Amino acid sequence: MTAATATSPSPAWSWVRANAGLLVRPAIIVSLAVALYVYVNGFLDSDDAIFQDKRTLEWERNLKPQLEQHISLTLWSTLLVIVIAIPLGLFLTRPKYRRFGGPVLGIATSGQATPAFGLLILAFAWLGSGAWTAIWALGFFTVLPVLRNTMVGLDQVDFSVIEAGRGMGLTKGQVLRQVEIPLAVPVILAGIRTALIINVGMAALAFLIGGGGLGVTISAGLKLSREVVLLTGAVMTAIVALTVDWIASIAERTLRPRGL
């Protein structure tokens, strides 16, 4: 015991070593952002830049609000999914309601099987244009990974652990809260992370129904045939996606119960 403490490095250093993978990602993201900034600034100062380039790539007027919209589309739609899919998953894994699991999963699967573009248009036809229409459409699209992972996560809990808990006098609710859910957390978190990533990508299409987001810049780049605009939109979307995934991976590590 004493020998182990003597040879083991400080906790801070061992944390860094264990999480080295997590530190590589921000480095990539920052260098990507810096490279984009340098390239775009250089281009806009050169003679090749036209008026439309400068107009579309104005930070305060266009890029910043689009970035904020993009992030809020992602977060709200994911939150919506969490609020719907996790309770639904809990409900559908209770013995009494298990028989509804199949049909509900079927509906969720059809949500993801529908082309994203089609789903946005359907939502537009039903709810009209705007950010919230996009959020509902994204939410419906990503119910499946969270719902399925919640159900799988709860089902994979070792039955003997539940049996032991019940045998000691934990009520069904206590077993669910104190045993089943904590043990399902890693799988549920993986589902939420998947939903987040899908939502970041899908939010780039929200502009189609007036939802805003970085898709606006990408589409402008396409319409104007301006490579610098197109590239800026695309790379910024990628940066958002990488950042969101990085944060999600940290959350996965921190929220995972110890001992698993």
Partner 1 sequence: MTSTASSPIDPAPNQHSATGVEKPATMISLQGVTKTYDGSVIPAVDSLNLDIPEGEILVLVGPSGCGKSTTLRLINRMIEPTSGRIIFDGEDVTSVNPDLLRRRIGYVIQQIGLFPHQTIAQNIATVPRLLGWDKAKINARVTELLDVMGLPNDFKDRYPKELSGGQAQRVGVARALGSDPAVLLMDEPFGAIDPITRDRLQNEFLRLQSELKKTIVFVTHDIDEAIKMGDRIAILGEQSRIAQFDTPERILAYPIDDFVADFIGSGSTLKGLNFERVRDIDISTSFPVVSHDTSATEAKTVLDASPERSLLVLDAKSHPARWLNDKDLAATPADLLAAGVEVTSTLPMHATLHDALEELLMSNAGQATVVDNSGVYQGIVDIEVLADVLKGMRAAARRHYEVHVDSAGQS
Residue 186 C-beta: closest distance to partner 1, Å = 10
Torsion angles phi and psi, residue 189, rounded to 5: -60, -40
**Distance between the two ends of the chain, CA-based, in angstroms?**
23
Per-residue tokens: 172: 């069904």
Side chain identity, residue 239:
I
Q: Which of the residues 102 through 161 are near partner 1 (CB under 8 A)?
A: 158, 160-161
Give the DSSP H or E segment for 28. helix 20-45
**By CB under 8 A, residue 170 contacts partner 1:** yes
Torsion angles phi and psi, residue 209, rounded to 5: -115, 30
If the CB atoms of residues 189 and 206 are measured against partner 1, the closer one turns out to be: 189
**By CB under 8 A, residue 6 contacts partner 1:** no
**By CB under 8 A, residue 227 contacts partner 1:** no
Q: Among 65, 111, 182, 201, which residue interacts with partner 1 (rule: CB under 8 A)?
A: 182
Q: Could you give the CA distance from residue 64 to residue 205 in angstroms, rounded to a whole number?
A: 18
Q: Interior CA angle at 64 toward 45 and 138, to 5°? A: 130
**By CB under 8 A, residue 176 contacts partner 1:** no
**By CB under 8 A, residue 260 contacts partner 1:** yes
Q: Among 28, 30, 164, 255, which residue interacts with partner 1 (rule: CB under 8 A)?
A: 164
**By CB under 8 A, residue 169 contacts partner 1:** yes
Find out whether 224 and 76 touch, Cβ atoms under 8 Å. no
Q: Among 165, 191, 211, 215, which residue interacts with partner 1 (rule: CB under 8 A)?
A: 165
Contact set with partner 1 (CB under 8 A):
1, 158, 160-171, 174, 178-179, 182-183, 257-260
